Amino acid sequence: MNPQLFAGTMEMLVLELVSEGPTYGYEITQRVTNRSANEFELKEGSLYPALHKLQRKKLLKSFWREVDGRRRKYYELTIQGQKALNEKRQEWKQFSSAIERILGAQSGLA
């Protein structure tokens, strides 16, 4: 699958996963891989800059938690983050619907 398609949706997907409750980086990468049935692999080199960008935008906040003797940085959605996620979900629905109409018209499905 074309990685550029994934890159354009990364913020929305990260916000979606974090909206389910506080989570840390490695857990996010695993959820992406598992839920996409191994179609997407989110690398740390892409994830952490995205997380930091979302924090700068005040869409996420972070905190440290010790689990089994290990400190992990957890991320949590802010109120602004929930609003942004709702907007991104709506944008995605409009975008994917328009793409489906175009592709469906070509194959006679529209």
The tokens of 90 are what?
Answer: 């709506």
Instruction: Tell me the pLDDT tens digit for each residue of 45-69.
Output: 999 999 999 999 999 999 999 989 9
Q: Which residues span the domain enclosing 85?
A: 3-107
| Cβ neighbourhood burial of 78 (10 Å; 0-12, 13-18, 19+) | middle
Instruction: Tell me the pLDDT tens digit for each residue of 87-108.
Output: 999 999 999 999 999 998 766 6
37: CATH:
1.10.10.10
The tokens of 50 are what?
Answer: 């995205």
Tokens 């992406």 correspond to: 32
What is the structure's pLDDT at 42?
Answer: 87
User: What's the whole-model pTM score?
Assistant: 0.86
- Could you give the number of structural domains in the chain? 1
Q: What percent of the chain has pLDDT over 70?
A: 92
